């Protein structure tokens, strides 16, 4: 069921401009509803059934947004920060002011990050009870061995009161610098880095590839983003 919304609020909410700016646009005849030019900013419209056009481009009313971001290094996983650029600030097309990152990646970590304003979905993905898998690619200083694979599979004690769930460690290339993939089921602070420190190795580069059923679109360069597809969203919500 849709609650009627003032036309100027509708357009402002969808990022067309400020309330005062969109009032000017409306009065200049740049807005159509169901094919008819409307010049009254205070007219009430149905957000579901009304077809709204601005400069002949359709404007669909969205209250919930979902973006896949390929997080670059040097950007912090936060909504605001006094010193560094945040992941939310990268989402230039975001229309809602309440977007936030689902979970966090370290400042120097790259890769998949979901940006949304859907608190329920975020809670489901981050709940410790759900054990949502997260897959990372990493470059490791030191030879990663089969013994490390077994150690990760057994769980690693990181704190006095925390032992990781069994993690999957796949060795892609072993050497003085090793390439690996690792799948973990929690999201503790610096967890992957701390797990390798526990086996006397150092993470040189870290990139998240997937979170649950959401996989990084490799066509996105670091810092680029796009909206989730309907298929991706349904998979993420468990509707597929």
Q: What is the pLDDT of residues 43-96, one digit of tens each?
A: 999 888 889 999 999 988 878 899 999 999 999 999 988 899 999 999 987 666
State the Cα–Cα distance between residues 132 and 55, nearest whole angstrom: 43
Q: How many helices (H) and strands (E) does the chain have?
A: 6, 17
8 A C-beta contact, residue 111 and residue 208: yes
**Which residues, in sequence order, are CB contacts of 30 under 8 Å at separation 6+?**
54, 55
Catalytic residue ranges: 106
CATH class of 5-58: alpha beta
Q: Could you give phi then psi for residue 176, rounded to 5 degrees? A: -60, -35
pLDDT at 140 > cutoff 90: yes
8 A C-beta contact, residue 116 and residue 65: yes
Domain ranges of the chain: 5-58, 66-128+214-237, 134-211
Which CATH superfamily is 134-211 part of? Alpha-L RNA-binding motif (3.30.70.1560)
Q: How many CA atoms lie within 13 A of 53 on its CB side?
A: 11
Mean pLDDT, the chain, rounded, equals: 92
pLDDT at 185 > cutoff 60: yes
Least confident of 79-93, 132-146, 174-188: 79-93
Fold annotation for 66-128+214-237: Alpha-Beta Plaits (3.30.70)
Give the SS3 label for residue 239.
Answer: coil
8 A C-beta contact, residue 47 and residue 2: yes
pLDDT at 190 > cutoff 90: yes
pLDDT at 240 > cutoff 70: no
Same fold across 66-128+214-237 and 134-211? yes
> pTM for the whole thing?
0.81
Percent of the chain with pLDDT over 90: 76
What is the CA angle 135-68-9, rounded to 5? 150
Q: What is the largest CA-CA distance in the chain?
A: 72
């Amino acid at each position: 069921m849709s609650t009627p919304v003032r036309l100027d609020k509708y357009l402002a909410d969808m990022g067309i401009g400020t309330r005062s700016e969109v009032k000017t646009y409306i009065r200049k005849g740049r807005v159509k509803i169901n094919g008819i030019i409307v010049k009254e900013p205070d007219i009430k419209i149905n957000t579901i059934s009304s077809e709204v056009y601005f400069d002949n481009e359709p404007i669909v009313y969205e209250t919930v947004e979902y973006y896949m971001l390929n997080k670059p290094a040097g950007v912090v996983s936060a909504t605001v920060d006094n010193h560094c650029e945040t992941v939310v600030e990268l989402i230039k097309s975001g229309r809602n002011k309440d977007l936030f990152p689902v979970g966090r990646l370290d400042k120097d970590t790259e890769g998949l990050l979901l940006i949304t304003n859907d608190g329920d979905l975020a809670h489901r993905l981050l709940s410790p009870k759900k054990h949502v898998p997260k897959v990372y690619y990493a470059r490791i200083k030191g030879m990663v061995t089969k013994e490390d694979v077994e150690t990760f599979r057994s769980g690693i004690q990181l704190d006095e009161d925390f032992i990781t769930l069994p993690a999957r460690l796949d060795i892609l290339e072993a050497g003085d610098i090793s390439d690996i993939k690792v799948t973990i089921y929690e999201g503790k602070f610096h967890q992957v880095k701390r797990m390798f420190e526990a086996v006397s190795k150092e993470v040189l580069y870290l990139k998240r590839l997937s979170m649950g059923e959401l996989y990084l679109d490799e066509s996105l360069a670091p810092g680029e983003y796009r909206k989730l597809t309907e298929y991706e969203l349904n998979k993420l919500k468990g509707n597929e």
